[in-house]
Amino acid sequence: MEEKSALATALMEYAQAHPLPDAATQTMFRTLLPDALVKATRRQPDGTYFVATGDIPAMWLRDATFQVLPYVRLIKDIPDLKPILEGVLRRELAFVRLDPYANAFNETASGAHWRADDESDRPMSPQVWERKFEIDTLCAPLLLAVNLYAETGDASIFDIDFWATFTLILTIFEQEQHHERSPYFFRRSDTDENDTLPNNGLGNPIGDTGLIWDGFRPSDNRCEYGFHIPANLLAKTVLNHLLPLMPVDERLLAKRTQTLVAAIEQGVMTYAIQTLPSGEQGLAYEVDGLGHARFMDDANVPSLLSLPFLGAIAADDPLYLATKAFVLSPQNPYYYEGKMLSGIGSEHTPPEYVWPIAVAMEGLVATTAADKMAKLLLLVATTGGTGQCHEGVQKDDPLQYTRTWFSWANMTFCQLALDVIQQQEQEGLR
């Protein structure tokens, strides 16, 4: 508790020492920067750290990585963050080893589940909250590790446990390139069709593309078509980053990784690049390798919008610019324009609810300081007076929102604030 208190003070002092141009924005940044650390992160008996998603007690590995990612860039200023972030990484890796097909986990083996009657190819562990297979779940610890190494240069995180877990992740990815041979299925009865997999739990039919099959989107809603393009591009990106860091005696592992990366690249080139509803060439959100494609974007990351932030594509790549223009237009079925807020929402929340995560992501992929600051100010103005970034906010009325406390959204706001601060400092040096 004392450790958290000292770190919370250090984080608030950091915010105070790096003022933003607007007083209300500065206050919200100072308040939210300790949010994930103080309210969501708990030390475990084994020295790892569990990160709750917010007002739901479980730990989604995807959410957890994005919740703590802003802290990675603060390690040089606040070195005591480093062992906590490494502890989060070790907890994520341990959960992957427990069940690589699960997306969310309990803090203890409590037996709590989102739905206890879910059917899958194996019984749910009492420490598994939900067993929806999502590529981004397995990418999450790899993304955190890549960012930690880039910030600190400390390769000690790449220990035996890390590479053992990486090998397991790679094996699952290879298996799901051929989902027809996979034992995994997921069925949930008496629910919306987007909350379970069709075809007796196996998902809709797919072709052979070289891409990794994905059961559920980062929103936890099912993939309509089996190949989720943003998640495949995230997988390719983190695998590429880890290739030069592999132990020299792991030649076979490196070869397998290179083969998978090449297959994803070819699959994207062959199946994902399509004519968008705008008439431009861009990226589809999902494809099935049988001629079908889903043209949309969802607020949850990885998304098409977020690809430059994830390092998967350059922000000025013509293919991305065309894709971005499409997903930030009414041609995207989940893009909403309102009196107070415009941006991308999700099938996961009611229509006409814009997600602050997506608004912040618009700022994070923006190339000018003015655009970044505009999105930051918009987020501050649409909290419904709570000072919190919610899950979804009604486009005309910020008093209507989903989830009182959604730590991922709060920390993506902080990620954008840190971007603005960094840009201010760079401009000051010039």
Torsion angle of C-alpha atoms 221, 127, 85, 359, degrees rounded to 10: 20
Q: Coil, strand or helix: which one is 344?
A: strand
Does residue 406 contact residue 55 with C-beta atoms inside 8 Å? Answer: yes
CA distance 376 to 64: 22
Among positive and negative, which fits the CA dihedral 264, 267, 268, 269? positive
Distance CA(91)–CA(80), nearest Å, equals: 18
Q: For residue 387, what pLDDT is reported?
A: 95
Q: Token digits for 265? A: 């690249």
pLDDT tens readout for residues 290-342: 999 999 999 999 999 999 999 999 999 999 999 999 999 999 999 999 999 99
Q: Torsion over CA of 48, 52, 58 and 60, rounded to 10 degrees?
A: -80
Residue type, 309: F
pLDDT of 237: 98
Identify the pLDDT of residue 54.
86
Contact assessment for residue 28 and residue 387, using Cβ atoms and an 8 Å cutoff: yes
User: Domain containing 33: what range?
Assistant: 2-429
> What DSSP letter does each residue of 58-86 carry, written as one string?
SEEHHHHHHHHHHHHTTTTT-TTHHHHHH
Task: Name the burial class of residue 242, with classes exposed (0-12), middle (13-18) and buried (19+) by CB atoms within 10 angstroms of its CB.
Answer: buried
- pLDDT of res. 427: 73
Domain count for the chain, please give it.
Answer: 1
Give the pair of three-digit tokens for residue 336.
């909403």
Beta strands of 280-395 (E only): which ranges? 281-283, 286-287, 293-294, 335-337, 342-344, 353-354, 392-394
State the sign of the Cα–Cα–Cα–Cα dihedral 191, 197, 200, 204: positive
Contact 34, 15 (CB under 8 A): no
Task: Kindly state the helix (H) or strand (E) to which residue 119 belongs, with its residue range.
Answer: strand 119-120
- At residue 50, the pLDDT reads 98
**What is the bridge-based pairing of β-strands 335-337 and 342-344?**
antiparallel
How far apart (Å, rounded) are the C-alpha atoms in residues 44 and 46? Answer: 5
Kindly report, residue by residue over 232-244, the tens digit of the pLDDT. 999 999 999 999 9
* pLDDT beneath 70: ranges in the chain: 1-2, 428-430
pLDDT of residue 430: 42
Residue type at 203 in one-letter notation? G
